[in-house]
Amino acid sequence: MSFARVVLGLPLAGLFLAILGPPRRMAQARGFRWGRSTPPMFHRLLCVILRVKVRRLGAPGVEGPRLIVSNHVSWLDIPVLGSLEPMTFLAKKEIGGPFLGRQAANLQGVVYVDRQRRRAIPKVNADMAAAMRAGEPVVLFAESTTSDGVRLLTFRSSHFEAARAAGGVVQPVFLHFKRLGGLAIGRRDMPQIAWYGDMAFLPHLFALLASGGVECDVHYGAPIRVADHGDRKALARATETAMRRLAEGARKP
């Protein structure tokens, strides 16, 4: 049944992109905010197809520039977060794949980064700051890679400079994948959710589809005022500390 949902759902997702993607991208290119609800609708559709149930705990930050900093567990993080509110993602330039290819990424709103070219970081930060000032929250996976879903990796501070340039706040957001097939997820179950190392995408997808559905709680933490921290490294440390507290609270029985 899960595979049938994908077989039937993917053409529907493709039709969604074909019909609503071009006008949404044109509006973005001209600086209009038309169709801001389109990307969340697309990600909610993906979540339905993949049988991912998302629950938000806490509230999005105050009005103004906002950098959302999330832990990074899986390719699932994108549709989970994207389903909750309009947002722009910071993503590697080689991003692709069946569920977040270039078309879907452009529909969503993406700032691309080439991690092999450190000289490009100031330009990337400037693009992130511009998006935040224009009213679009930007998502940063500060661990810079996916983890095993059990531990939180040390945050890298390079792109926290974008938040300093934009002003406003940084909001930690913790993704807690809580249930798989209706059962609580333990350490041994996490490889069915977490996508890291040299895991191949399609086997991971098929195992997930066979699992019976996923439940993810998204914990929004208190916004952290950029002005309260002297530099990007201090801001990154404060955000990481807040994230670890969020994680501890989310994982309590």
Block mean pLDDT (10 aa), the chain, length 253: 63 62 57 69 88 94 91 93 92 58 67 79 94 92 89 94 95 96 88 88 85 93 94 97 95 81
The pLDDT value given to residue 64: 92
The pLDDT value given to residue 212: 83
Query: From CA 62, how far away is CA 137, in angstroms rounded?
Result: 11
What does the DSSP assignment read for 94-148?
T--SSSS-HHHHHHH-EEEE-TT-GGGHHHHHHHHHHHHHTT--EEEETTSS---
CATH number of the domain located at residue range(s) 2-250 in this protein: 3.40.1130
The pLDDT value given to residue 24: 62
Residues with Cβ < 8 Å from 226, sequence gap 6 or more? 163, 164, 166, 167, 168, 169, 170, 235
Give the residues across from 16 on adjacent strands: none
The pLDDT value given to residue 100: 45
Query: From CA 120, how far away is CA 139, in angstroms rounded?
Result: 18
Domain boundaries, the chain: 2-250
Q: Answer yes or no: pTM beyond 0.85.
A: yes
pLDDT tens digit sequence for 96-105 = 444 445 566 6
The pLDDT value given to residue 99: 46
Helix (H) or strand (E) holding 50: helix 38-50
